[in-house]
Chains A and B, each alone.
Chain A
Amino acid sequence: MEHYLELCENPVQFENASSVNNVFFDEANKQVFAVRSGGATGVVVKGPDDKSSVAFRMDDRGEVKCIKFSIGNKILAVQRTLKSVDFINFIPDYPHTEFTQECKTKNASVLGFCWTSWNELVFITDQGIEFYQVLPDKRSLKQLKSQSINVNWYQFCPETAVLLLSTTVQGNVLQPFAFKSGTMSKMSKFEIELPVVPKPAKLSLSERDIAMATIYGQMFVMYLKHHSRTNSPTAEVVLYHLPREGVCKKTHVLKLNTTGKFALNIVDNLVVVHHQSSQVGLYYLYLPLVFDTLYSSSWSVFQPDIIISASEGYLWYLQVKLPPTVNLLQDKGKLMDFLLRRRECKMVILSVCSQILQGGEKGRLPIVATVFDKLNQVYKEYLEAEQSYTAAVESGPSRGSAAPKRPVRTQAVVDQSDMYTHVLSPFTERKGVSHKFIIAVLMEYIRSLNQFQITVQHFLYELVIKTLVQHGRFYMLHQFLQYHVLSDSKPLACLLLSLESTYAPAHQLSLDMLKRLSTANDEIVEVLLSKQQVLGALRFIRSVGGHDNVSSRKFLDAARQTGDQMLFYTVFRSFQQRNQRLRGSPGFNPGEHCEEHVVHFKQLFGDQALIKPSTV
């Protein structure tokens, strides 16, 4: 049996819940509080990492109902009664003694409180909400805002700092509030469709059936809709999209095809539905899938991806195991869409690519093309973001706009060297694959890169050329170069030069490429000289205006090597003329190391053949 979900290997451990030890969990800071004897014998706070772990003592002033740190562990809030919340400073050098804030609405009971920043929090009472700022130095609170409204229960999403209140008698009208640095804004309310409308009206929407989550950066309210005899026989999860502005809309319905007790999690942007009759059902957003795994009934589920066993003293993060999931989707395009959105996706994506290339069935190229296009789309978006970041940094800070943020390179960015190392290079070396298919795949990758206007890196061209040469497909190579599919570069031109002995036209192709580069004039001269085309080299360097700077010795060496005396004469005289023009004298400078050639010239043609220095 394949498992698609797993608990993290290193759970957070805490002292298990008992009669003397109460355990609390704060979703905002992901901290577990173990409160022994009301705090008198110690409070141990364990967070996701050691930094957020704290231990302290506090006076036992009654049973703790709720305990939470403000963001950054600056201030601790403890609720012990229905009327008030107590505060303790954790800022160094500030008075440590507790202070209390009572709720301002008369006869109201405090249902709970939520921190919205390091020093701001909101009280939720059955009659409304009160938004406060804590003044730690003055050990008092200042009310920022309040709102009267009947509240049945509430949910808070710490990532977005949005508070959701259940109102009306049935409880299915939800009123969200958004908090941001000292301000509180009312968002538009919405109604959850109940499976049955009870008569007479009574509270029908339980807080257990509502969860808030951010999926792909968007806020959603998830509703676990239980079956009723009258309509759909199985339960479903209904997703409501809650935009910052505008109206909340029902967007997705995930059919669970079963009944029973459920709990929800969000793991890596996937909606996980726990089926508590000893199964875990996993539902991907858009892609419903179910499978079984062992499940303990003593676990509590917290958002977005936390499972706590208070009796055992463990806090786990839920993780998606990606490798087994690749077999769940036959459509490789959809599979890529799914994988590209997962956190730890790179190696899985690369192995899927290899796997596609391995299969023997026909019609793989269109699939390969689709997959490459999907990968390169994400790759291109990252490159563009990186580019505009660099441009913004270079142009310096502009007034009014925030400092540019460096784009995050997620694992979904699969670049050319990833593909080369993990997929393409091993693929070209595999035995028994037709070279036709190898070349088709490489060309498909190059096509896809070009389509997204991504500059192809040299090592890919090298791989193409290596494969073509290995199978003697020189004419193919020739045609690719003719249509500039393999873009010009010095390394490529040199690679072509090295092929000349096996494929003569490579010489011409290489020279053409060097010419087009227009920065490779020295290389062209070297190539021509090595071919003993001394006059050609001389004419060329003259045509590009580099005649004055070339080494005369190099040319004379080459001319002498040809054994053609007239050629040597011509080249020699041409450089004498150059010297005359540049320095007013036909002689060579000592630095040019042409002495032996002068001797050789005199031997062949006599002193009188030298151009004489003109007398002034």
Chain B
Amino acid sequence: MASGMQEKQYTPSLLNFFVYNPTFGQKEGEEEKKILFYHPSDVEKNEKIRNVGLCEAIVQFTRTFCPTKPAKSLHTQKNRQFFFEPEDNFWIVMVVRNPMIEKPNKDGKPPTVEYQEEEIIDPLLTLITFLVLQLFNGTFGRQMEAGGVELLIQKLEKFFYRYLQTLHLQSCDLLDVFGGISFFPLDKMTYLKIQSFVNRVEESLSLIKYTAFLYNDQLIWSGLEQDDMRILYKYLTTSLFPRHSEPELAGRDSPLRPEVAGNLLHYGRFLTGPTNLKDPEAKFRFPKIFVSTEDGYEELHLIVYKAMSAAACFMISASVELTRDFCEQLDGLVGPQLTLLASDICEQFTVNRRISGPEKEPQFKFIYFNHMNLAEKSTIHMRKTASVCLTSVHPDLMKILGDINCDFARVDEDEEIIVKAMTDYWVVGKKSDQRELYVILNQKNANLIEVNEEVKRLCATQFNNIFFLD
């Protein structure tokens, strides 16, 4: 068949993204004032107003059926709209075009377009978007208090300009739905050493309020509360770390130029704040984040400091001005210790791998998620960043996983779903208490009982240290 005659696949894409407040601009002719942010910005004013109006109407209309739970999303053939009201009267709306397949027709007729509706793009994305927004800017209400609508609009522009670039809808899958945290597996002793490191740094640099510790983009320790850590983790792993690792991979701006502090060689450097401490022009400004406290929010400087594969995030009250002196002190104290720890962890990690033997390609792949501690684990993803999603299984199978997850979301009871996929794979979903496990088995001649046995065996070997109800 000629190449021109092939099907064309279109991945889902972001059509619109906007934030509005229906209580603003209520007078006739002032409707534009309701809109706080609109993407893409080059859309004609009237169309913006029309789209916002439509959303308002849908929400109002559905409220008549259930006043406490207005509509969350609207599915049409061509697209999906997600509505989310994180704070009173502030709405975040995301419109996504469904993926489609363009099938060429003979005889020069226009191609037939098939939309695929059941892709996984979860409403949770708007929540996470909001949370990330909140992490860096605080609540809408707080910004309004601080500088009125003007400041809010300004801040939203600035934030979304960058954020929407990191939103890669085509690579969204089950892991994005969970928004989980991948924990780095570590032996007790090395873990205690890290504890000791964190405690010592916090004691000698008492400005530091919270510390988080990651290795290989996986979390080891969080001094922040779980919900805040979840968002910070999302930001670090999908935005900050990829931004810094790509030049490393390309060999530019090599970070492996050891710094000499005292007489100790170290590989520490700041990922936020000054890129070079010795630069007399260096600025000591760090991104600010908002985290929850018992009574509201607090604003913090976010210092991310990395040595080899180990990253430490230090958070300091935003009311303190950070100086060159402080950064040098931190660099001198943390750099050598973190370098040492990083090589310790690396060594421990390779030792453990050697003990567990050479990695054989197992007969199954799985995704695990625990709602309780947000822990996720996947043997399906080889590498997952926001822009690249390398999975080792076919997208159709991923789609089945998404469907099972939707089924789980609807009920509270423990459940188990076993699906035989078209491609001879078996897909099993298990839900036990707060945990979900998705297994893909490549055993085409197995029957249901054998698959069930196989999954039991998998639970007994891979998850023998947790309580999983059969």
Contacts and interface: CB of A to CB of B under 8 A. Distances in A.
Interface of A: 362-366, 369, 436-437, 439-440, 443-444, 446-447, 450-451, 475-476, 478-479, 482-485, 505, 508, 511-512, 514-516, 524, 533, 536, 539-540, 543
Nearest to B372: A505
Contact of A540 (B188, B189, B470): B470
Interface residues of B, number: 34
Given A511-B467, A512-B466, A539-B470, A450 B199 contact: no
Contacts of B466: 512, 515
A163 to B, nearest CB: 52
Interface string B175-216: 000000001001011011101100110111010000000000
24 contacts: A365-B200, A369-B196, A436-B199, A436-B202, A439-B199, A440-B202, A443-B195, A447-B192, A447-B193, A450-B188, A451-B192, A475-B226, A482-B183, A483-B188, A508-B434, A511-B467, A512-B465, A515-B465, A515-B467, A516-B465, A524-B467, A533-B469, A539-B470, A540-B470
A443 B203 CA distance: 14
B195 A447 contact: yes
Nearest to B469: A536
B203 A440 contact: yes
Interface of B: 183, 186, 188-189, 191-193, 195-196, 199-200, 202-204, 206, 221-223, 225-226, 229, 370, 372-373, 375, 414, 433-434, 464-467, 469-470
Nearest to B196: A447
B419 to A, nearest CB: 22
A482 B375 CA distance: 10
B189 A363 contact: no
Instruction: With a 10 A CB-CB cut-off, give which of A475, A485, A514 has the most chain B CB atoms.
Output: A475
Given A536-B469, A539-B469, A437 B203 contact: yes
B467 A478 contact: no
Contacts of B225: 475
Contacts of B203: 362-365, 437, 440
Contacts of B223: 476
A605 to B, nearest CB: 24
B452 to A, nearest CB: 13
Contacts of A512: 465-467
A172 B430 CA distance: 89
Nearest to B459: A543
A451 B467 contact: no
Nearest to A483: B191
Pick the most buried of B191, B226, B229, B370: most chain A CB atoms within 10 A of its CB: B191
B373 A543 contact: no
A299 B225 CA distance: 70
B433 A508 contact: yes
Nearest to B226: A475
A332 to B, nearest CB: 16
A485 B188 contact: yes
A301 to B, nearest CB: 48
Contacts of B226: 475, 478
Residue among A450, A483, A524 facing the most chain B CB atoms (10 A cut-off): A483
Contacts of B192: 443, 446-447, 450-451, 485
Contacts of B375: 482
Contacts of B433: 508, 511
A451 B189 contact: yes
10 shortest A-B CB distances, which residue pairs? A440-B199, A447-B192, A511-B467, A515-B467, A505-B372, A483-B191, A512-B466, A365-B200, A512-B467, A536-B469
Looking at A478, A508, A539, the one whose CB has the most chain B CB atoms below 10 A away is A508
A451 B192 CA distance: 9
A278 B372 CA distance: 74
B414 A508 contact: no
B199 A365 contact: yes
Nearest to A362: B204
User: Which of B225, B375, B469 has its CB near the most chain A CB atoms (within 10 A)?
Assistant: B469
B375 to A, nearest CB: 8
B222 to A, nearest CB: 7
A298 to B, nearest CB: 55
Nearest to B201: A365
B196 A482 contact: no
B199 A484 contact: no
B189 A450 contact: yes
B467 A443 contact: no
A455 B166 CA distance: 48
Contacts of A366: 200
A300 to B, nearest CB: 54
B188 A444 contact: no
Contacts of B373: 478, 482, 505
A589 B120 CA distance: 55
A514 B467 contact: yes
Nearest to A513: B467
A289 B195 CA distance: 38
B414 A536 contact: yes
A116 to B, nearest CB: 52
Contacts of B414: 536
Contacts of A485: 188, 191-192, 195
A514 B204 CA distance: 39
B194 to A, nearest CB: 9
Contacts of B204: 362-363, 365
Contacts of B470: 539-540, 543
A484 B196 contact: no
Contacts of B188: 450, 483-485
B222 A475 contact: yes
A514 B183 CA distance: 22
Contacts of B191: 483, 485
B211 to A, nearest CB: 10
Given A443-B199, A512-B465, A515-B466, 5 more contacts: A362-B203, A478-B373, A516-B465, A524-B467, A540-B470
A512 B373 CA distance: 13
B467 to A, nearest CB: 4
Nearest to A439: B199
A539 B203 CA distance: 49
A244 B226 CA distance: 65
A276 to B, nearest CB: 49
A516 B464 CA distance: 7
Nearest to B227: A475
B294 to A, nearest CB: 8
A366 B206 CA distance: 15
Contacts of B372: 505, 508
B345 to A, nearest CB: 13
Contact of A483 (B186, B206, B370): B186
A366 B196 CA distance: 9
Chain A CB count within 10 A is highest, among B199, B204, B206, B434, for: B199
A436 B200 CA distance: 11
